[in-house]
Chain A
Amino acid sequence: MKGKKGLLFFICLLIAAGAAGYVTYYANSERNRGQIYNDMQSAVSHPESEQPSKPEPEVESEASASISLEPEVEPYVCPVDFDSLHKVNEDIYAWIEIPDTEVAYPVLQHDEDTYYYLNHTVEGVEGLPGSIYTDTGVAKDWSNYITVVYGHNMKNRTMFGSLKDYRDEDFLKAHPYIYVYTPEAKYTYQIFASVVYDDRLITAEYDQSSAQDRKNYLDSILNIRDMSSHILSDVPVTPDDNILTLSTCIAGAPENRYLVEAVLTDVQR
């Protein structure tokens, strides 16, 4: 090989090496950052997969006079080890799970920077895959009328990357419940819609303390009519119900979001 050709070849080798190194570095870093979620999922018990039956509706327990009756409502025993989770990050305040899907994650909230957990993992490491989180100031007892939970649409289906399965109406009907656990309570939500939405900031646009705004928000969901969205009209939901919105991005459509909408049907304390 002549001198010039040899130099050219050497430069190509250098570029190839650099490219390989960068790609490997970046991909493996992302994998490392996501590993904590695998560890957490293994550590948390999955009560719903052990009890596949539908959640019991909350029933008033009998007045406990002198006769000790069997209580009709089981007292809530939190299946999630929040003490261990808090050792990793104190900002973890809930655990969200959709049975028979990949969604099983801690829910975080930063008390100052609302976007912090978009771009930081539960270990506080910057970069994808980020965390599942709510905006600063959102009620941590899930008592807001409208609660939006955010997560990235990861290609490897972690975080909210598996929500795209709800594009299939059969999948939606087969996976209707979302469970949220806190140390104090278990919240059961029933999904009534999975829609392609725009990128408006829901919490900025709709004041959840206004009945008219809540109606407008609900109407904006229920009026959606396209082949990628589904509305289950047989699930009752009104502007006075607590609505849970799971929000994630859509690859190739930066001005849209994919939302899974669910209504609170049960609280177990």
Chain B
Amino acid sequence: MNDQWTDRLSEYVDGELANGERVALEAHLATCAPCRGAVAELRQVVARARSLEDRAPQTDLWSGVAKRIGAGQVVDIRSRRFSFNVPQLIAACIALVLLSGGGTWVALHKTSVATDTTFTSQADSTKWVPVAVWSGRTDAAIADLQEALRRNESRLDTSTVRVVRENLALIDRAIAQARTALAADSGNAYLNLHLADTMRRKLELLRRVNAIASAQS
């Protein structure tokens, strides 16, 4: 799996790459089975997400917010058409997190992302995917990177180790808060996205610090 292209696959699927980049990526796809698998997975997620139904909010806080921002007209959301619905957002975000986590997984286990995704089968359902299910693989990738960091820590200065641990604890608290909020409202798009993004941040921090520690040897 080529890290350079891993980060661009979503743009490719969305048709957002410039012509030159698209041609280069397609040339790469011709020789890279894991990237081809990841693209296929992403396309499945997007296609499946389009078929999912919208869900109305469980609690309406709009009136308070409208008062605060001075909004006048309130429109019934059910009469609106959205370019993205809530499950789509969650599915897309889960895909991104797992791609990021999957990249780590590949690096650690020399296996392919195509065999490392749980979200596709989960996205086949129109019901909400439990957090524990879609976050499981990312949790595993995080655990592996934390173990790698534990082995690498001796290469870093003690003050750096302390700072990294403090920041990981900071992210862990954020993850715990997001999980608690999700436990009370599991279908909330914002909370799902926020948890996924916060977990991604932890993965990236661990990956970055491990890279620096490895370079210190």
A interacts with B? no
